[in-house]
Amino acid sequence: MLVDSSEQFDNIDSPTQPQATGEDLNLDNTLRPQSFAEYIGQEKVKKNLDFLIRAAKKREEPIEHILLYGPAGLGKTTLANIIAKEMGVNIKTTSGPAIERVGDFGSILTNLQDGDILFIDEIHRLNKSIEEILYPAMEDFKLDIIIGKGPSARTIQLDLPKFTLIGATTKLGALSNPLRNRFGATYRLEFYQNKEVQDIIKRSSRILGVEMHETGLEKIASCARQTPRVANRLLKRVRDFSQIKDHKFVDSAVAQEALEMIDIDPIGLEPADRHILRTIIEKFNGGPVGLGTIAAATSEEIKTIEDVYEPYLLQIGFLTRTPRGRMATEHAYKHLGIAYSTNPQNVLL
């Protein structure tokens, strides 16, 4: 029986959420590019990585340590996996918050093989004791282990395989200088151009078996926040909608109806984005207001606002940062249909 109701969409996860779960996680892996040829966008980064890989292969050495940074969802994890495939080596994936004990991290390092890649996502969240182990491991491929306590404690040094560390972070400034300086190559991933996002959606729609009209591609891309991860999540939600409604293909009208059902507006803002902007405007006269205050007023976590919502709002000019906090811009007022008035406090900024 076909249910013509929006109820089945009520529990759909936000397309901007940083982590996928369940079926979405499996589909994300299916849609992930497997080579530089399949990877759309970030041309300058790809070119530099290709040179690094070719040079390392020519010397028959592991590729040097690499740091990738930029907003969430732009393809840092995908690039790490492609580098491993291009080098023909294994990759071990973990994240900063997942590494809690020195012993656990030591075990990860000693179980690597020569040439293996260790990928650490959210590397800025490593605790200091773990970070200190990384220094000799990255520079000299040595692991210092302290045995015993107090005056009788002694340090022994173990040889590690010649591995490559690839770190990914959304907060380059949160990395300590000693750790950041140990990476041989550092690359920033930029937001994607609209045409690149359309090409990503076109590729993903073929994999998912979705018949897409050019206008459907354009509509989804315009709401994808210049981010591949968001583009693929929106495509999957539009696919679900079109299948339930028995549409044979996705055009602009079908895509728009599907996106409206999950409350995505024409430029890709979702309810949380609009709630954050309205809170700044209506409760704090447009700002400036501190991030902690915004988080408390919107019941969002500081990290979620900072990593998930704020980068795009800054990118499109709806939000600005000042020494005294965040401010909503005139563009934000206009988009929300609120009359713009200058906060007297802002004149002095």
Give the catalytic positions in this structure.
76-77, 121, 170, 229
How close are the terminal C-alpha atoms of the chain, in Å?
60
- Gap between the Cα atoms of 33 and 27, Å rounded: 12
CA 163, chain centre distance (Å):
24
Q: Which amino acid is at 182?
A: R
- Gap between the Cα atoms of 258 and 244, Å rounded: 11
- Gap between the Cα atoms of 87 and 84, Å rounded: 5
In order, the DSSP letters of 194-258 are HHHHHHHHHHHHHHHT--B-HHHHHHHHHTSTT-HHHHHHHHHHHHHHHHHTT-SSB-HHHHHHH
Distances in Å between the alpha carbon of 234 and those of 49, 73, 316, 347? Answer: 29, 13, 19, 40
